[in-house]
A and B are shown apart, each in its own frame.
Chain A
């Protein structure tokens, strides 16, 4: 992990400098860039662990609400009931996690005075509020066994809003200057969608008898496949340099374990999910994989922000390729 001393600090001739700038960006063995004492350019995200935990809980709640709606429409009342309660649990803790993360928790409602399409956090606040209200109503009716038509309507609202609830969090991360998040803007929402489906399917499978949990099993396996495929596509898009944190340090470790858990969980569910023991083992593995994947994404963002090379090398290359630099280069005669 050792880095060269700050290139800005080293004696460099003009020609040596130009060579260093155009050197291939092949990871940390090649300095290939200059910096201010190796210090970060952008600020590391200051979010606490509550935020990635919310990504997991929110995704679980959103996909569970959608699963509950589908199960209701398909006439699978038991599965619908369990998925509704799972969604309720997920959405119940979500606002608490988010408010705990605020610097001024007493002012959480300030987000409810504004609607801003340029802020995924603003849009997400409304999606979360809407899903939460609808899901609470649906779960209340379900628990008390009252007002079936109100329950169905609430279920429908929660089920539809649950879909973007599972993916907007990826848009939130992508809409930052953190290279490993911003550059993954096309794939990251699919990673989160797959991860949410896998976790919601797993919880429904764990809480419902195997005979009635068929759709939950298929959803869990399909979600895991989507998650793993999207992760692959994301890493291909990010490339060797920007995607490096997914292979290094804490993010790298979590990333490897997450993918192993997800792949193993999907296999166990596909092979032995009809048996109670298989459902339990596979379900727990899938839940672990889904949670650890969010954690890996969170840690990767911190690592990506911490090292200036992920910001400087791609920007310097872009500036030289397109001539879009913010600097007005001198005309040397």
Chain B
């Protein structure tokens, strides 16, 4: 493997200093002069017609500058990444407890809260549909005019039904997963301003895609999108929860109406109740195999509880189906999924995007299969693992790097796996009330938005007289460290000092559209745009140097910040000198780069399938307290194959954080909604792992460079949070012989399962 100066190194984050000194200003840290405090009037009911909405008393309350309702929306009263049917402000009906009815802006936070209490609403209750089963029952009340099925997808490869009938062994099981909350430490919020002179609306808001926000705001405001500036960076955590509109349109409405800066910051309670959640899903697997361990056929049926509106739920369901076979070969397959409306929590985008739900099940099925066949769990997976050139279980060609085998081999070679019997026995002896177990699971995770969905990036490089580079990217820093990775890739490609690179990011007026930061795409697509920019830059440098040196461009070469002539070494000019010369001539050096994500060779519709995958294996060492049912995750090992690691600490950090997010999903977290009422909207009752709960961790990076990725890189942000869930479940089975088929795996459930076993 080639040695690089920056690629694959532990380069400190370029935003680190500001973050440790408190200098970083997030959107929710802004308190502009003359600002108004905004609050949202949320629905008091779960599902109801709005019979009367009276804001007059609120409007005339002292200190109140404005109270807005749906009547004040100039454009389309709806938003949604795919289908904009999520109301900005409800007019005739509310469909879940997070629906917005009115906006208040006042001189003080107190006055705004008082005004909220003065808003009068009369409702006429409608039936509450809590589960997909209720929504799908015949005669069920229609949540939307088009019925209660939000989205359906079905895929066929060969004849799974017949293949299952002919299989020597068939396993069938159903798994149930819960709604999960993003729980970023920074809740949704920001500031909106309106400049009457320029007609520009400016929104600062924690975000994942400022440019799409621009369009969604424009659609609702009936405004020229180019007169909407969205600044989305930096963001205090997103994990998929800030790709959709949250406060942006509300801020725009209030700013334009009042002509004053407006600040809106959701409380934790609002954030949990209102924003999109990881879908609750029920998945049934039927897997057929031969006695020698060869997987033959898979049938997957997914029902997703999608809540009241569409947002991005269709692609989530699609990716659930794509992820469900796992990184293995199947000759025949059938996938079916439905996303069903309910009046429950809003199902939407969340790191993992449908994979965590199904992988929880399918990777336990593989372990069950291994047990039936008397095979080692890793050997079974190795036997069926995909490789570059295979046809996937969906039927498309795997044309990009595929290292799941390597990750499994590394897992098999870890001391934890090789010595697991000894390690477990030692721990059992030293902790007599616990039984210990080791579990393994693998996953393939799609990178990119999928075929048919625009997936691109643009980058601008600007050079000043001293040779400093300003890189402009629309990408937003949500914590994953992408800006540092971009600086590394640029510094490497240009053989230049990374300290001379500054990144301007996530501002629709100051940076080009680089697409969204989601789908683990950021390094891959932006890296390629950077390389494209550098590829365009080099001939320009040679041409300029040629004029300055009076040497034909063909005799010149660029390297390490210098253009020189091989034949006459004294004829050289630095990049900085070329830049200075350009500035003096009145035409500073500037270059753009672009990239488009390569797509798969099949098109199943709506983003299916993908062309790039992260492959990953994770191991879990757990202890089960057999008297209390408590499961402790003691050690976690992540073995991701992401092509190439651009920043070692960056990949480890994603791994370590992703694993703990998965731990939370597996053992502690659940958004509890009954009859549409949210029962746990605070951190007292929505349980995240604390520093005392998290495991010892190790990350072993497997590199399998992808030819079409920048320096061979793909992406890693989501895969790292997925297989730890079934790895923990498999470890529980290893420890105490019970299969947990629903999440979260609480002590109560484990104890009940242990008793049933006896």
Judge: A and B partners, yes or no. Answer: no
Interface residues of B (CB under 8 A from A): none
Interface residues of A (CB under 8 A from B): none
